[in-house]
Amino acid sequence: MRVLHKGLLLAPLLAVFAVQPAQAQAWKWDFGVNAGWSKFTAMLDEEDTGLGDDVPGAEVKWDGSWLVGTQLTYWAAPKLGVRLNGRYADRELEGSEIDETGWVTSTNLWGATLDLLIRFGEPAAEFAGMEVLPYVALGVGGKWYNGSEDQFTCDDGEDTFNCSPWSTGGGVNRRGWAYGEDVSLAGLLGLGADWRLARTLVLRTEINDQLFSPQIHRVTTIPLVGTSVWPVNGDSEGNLTHELGAQVGLHFLFGLAPVPAPIVVAPPPPPPAPEPVPVTVRRDAVTVCVIDPTAPGGIRMQTATVIEGRDTVITVGGTDRPFRESVGNVMVATNADWYVQGQPLTMKVGTNNVEFTTYGSPRMVEATDLAYMGTINGYPVYADRDDVADVIDELNELNRARAGTDLGQILEEQRELNDELDDVKVLYVPMTATGCVFQAVQRQEEVRKGGK
């Protein structure tokens, strides 16, 4: 029997190498993965289970469901190929509805065959559009399986092996069964087609029948509870089983001859281009007002260059850099909620709120006319230099010592300075970080909590 098995396995290979290819073909190898669905015929019939035809589920079989697989094909001739074909499925046993005690709820089913593929036509030497290549498949290999209850051991009188026991029927009709993990000889009959979608891609469809006789043994004596060794008959009682399936897979093609490159005659070189005329770009030096609370007076004048037709830049280490790199992150009134919503700018001095409402329209003010006061809620504010001439030095010293502290907090701690600044009625808030455009805000009466 073993000699016969080896002969069946070698038959497809001998047939392939006995055929000489008639011509060069489109590809030598293809590899792909597939998925599909299959159903099984009964591996035990009514006579085996001892149940009558009128008993539901008298036959025992694996249920129908999905399967997955992979294939590797070598094409020895345009119409002849040999294929390594593997598949896997996870199935539950179906059978007698009288007694379902001990049924195997899951079985890993593996199959592998060596197939001979015979095409009905030859592929094109080079891909020129979708083509369909039907074929028949004949194969031989093995089928092996292990169940979810294979922690048991079966003893057939000569050997022991892992097995999955279960039973059919009930009462006097009850029979015990078990199958192990031995490999069963399997054959394959298939009809399929390769749908060539691209030069290196094929969609393979196939319907097939994988035939095998599962190694199922009759349990001679059901052991006592707590015993894991099941005595079984030595001979298999499984019937010839058909796994009828349909599969669809994507296959990638290898070993294609390279596409011949077209011969292209290079055109004569073009005449040399005329020497480019140097273009003179005008560069003008300018001085730009920049709002910078960290600079003396809160404003600095930045030297820059305006390049004709381009942008304003600064020169750093001999390289032109965008002017925006010289401007820090300064809060301005243009996008402030209080300004957009028409609300006053509020400075909190202790428990008192000092409000400044917008006055007039934004306008440009000379930097030399303003003095930096500090920040209110993060916004830098300025005053007329003449209005604060008596206190500006003291205020500058406080801003340097208390960098980042809000003006209202400084005035809360410096009562005399706060009193002297009561006469300053107008402050200026920058609209943009450059250009010295300010919005004037006018001081309103102080709002005191509790009416004080």
Q: Number of structural domains, the chain?
A: 3
For residue 264, is it within any domain? no
Averaged pLDDT of the chain:
83
- Other C-beta atoms closer than 10 Å to the C-beta of 181 total 16
Kindly tell me if the per-residue pLDDT of 242 is higher than 70: yes
Rg (C-alpha) for the chain, rounded Å, is: 46
Name the residue with higher pLDDT: 441 or 168.
441
Same domain for 399 and 305, yes or no, is no
User: Is 322 found in the same domain as 214?
Assistant: no
**179 and 82 share one domain:** yes
Q: Which of 44-53, 297-306, 372-381 has the lowest mean pLDDT?
A: 44-53
- The answer to whether position 27 is within a domain reads yes
- Does residue 265 sit within a domain? no
Residue 317 belongs to domain spanning:
283-326
| Cβ count within 10 A of residue 323 | 19
The predicted structure's pLDDT at residue 226: 66
How far, in Å, are 287, 288, 293 from residue 372 at the CA level?
A: 20, 18, 8
The enclosing domain of 157 has a CATH number of 2.40.160.20
Average pLDDT over residues 73-88: 94
Residue 310 counted as domain residue? yes
Neighbours of 251 (CB within 10 A): 23
pLDDT digits (tens, 9 = 90+) for 368-406: 899 999 999 989 999 998 888 888 888 888 888 888 889
**Angle subtended at Cα 92 by Cα 89 and Cα 95, rounded to the nearest 5 degrees:** 135
3-state secondary structure the chain: CHHHHHHHHHHHHHHHHCCCCCCCCCCCEEEEEEEEEEEECCCECHHHHCCCCCCCCCCEEECCEEEEEEEEEEEEECCEEEEEEEEEEEECEECCCCCCCCCCCCEEEEEEEEEEEEECCCCCCCCCCCEEEEEEEEEEEEEEEEECCCCEEEECCCCEEEEEEEEECCHHHCEEEEECCCCEEEEEEEEEEEEEEECCEEEEEEEEEEEECCCEEEECCCCCCCCCEEEECCCCCCCCEEEEEEEEEEEEEECCCCCCCCCCCCCCCCCCCCCCCCCCCCEEEEEEEEECCCCHHHEEEEEEEEECCCCEEEEECCEEEEHHHHCCCCCCCCCCHHHHCCCCEEEEECCEEEEEEEEEEEEECCHHHEEEEEEECCEEEEEEHHHHCCCHHHHHHHHHHCCCCCHHHHHHHCHHHHHHHHHCCEEEEECCCECCEEEEEEECCCEEHHHC
> Among residues of the chain, what percentage have pLDDT more than 90?
32
Most confident of 113-122, 248-257, 422-431: 113-122
Region 431-443 average pLDDT: 90
Residue at a domain's end among 206, 238, 254:
254
Q: Based on the fold, state whether residues 55 and 147 are members of the same structural domain.
A: yes
Domain boundary among 326, 355, 390: 326
Task: State phi, psi for 25 to the nearest 5 degrees.
Answer: -110, 175
Query: Is 306 a domain residue?
Result: yes
* Strand arrangement of the beta sheet that strand 312-316 belongs to: 283-291, 299-307, 312-316, 319-322
Together in a domain, 356 and 215: no
- pLDDT attached to residue 324: 79
Domain co-membership, 153 together with 294: no
The 10s digit of each residue's pLDDT in 251-291 is 999 988 776 677 888 888 888 888 888 777 788 888 888 88
pLDDT for 339 equals: 92
Strand pairing class (229-231; 152-155): parallel
Q: Is the pLDDT of residue 9 over 50?
A: no
Tell me which of 199 and 280 has the higher pLDDT: 199
The pLDDT, as a whole number, for residue 209 is: 96
Shared domain for 348 and 244, answered yes or no, is no
Together in a domain, 288 and 201: no
Task: Kindly state the average pLDDT of the residues 204-214.
Answer: 95
pLDDT at 418 over 80: yes
> Which one, of 30, 32, 34, 31, lies nearest residue 248 by Cα?
34
Q: Are residues 210 and 350 in the same domain?
A: no
Shared-domain flag, residues 309 and 382 = no
Same domain, 143 and 83: yes
Residue 107 has pLDDT above 60, yes or no: yes
Are residues 347 and 316 located together in one domain of the fold?
Answer: no
Whether 260 maps to a domain, the answer reads no
pTM for this entry: 0.52
Question: Is the residue at 424 inside a domain?
Answer: yes
Q: Is residue 259 part of a domain?
A: no
pLDDT at position 447: 52
29, pLDDT greater than 90: yes
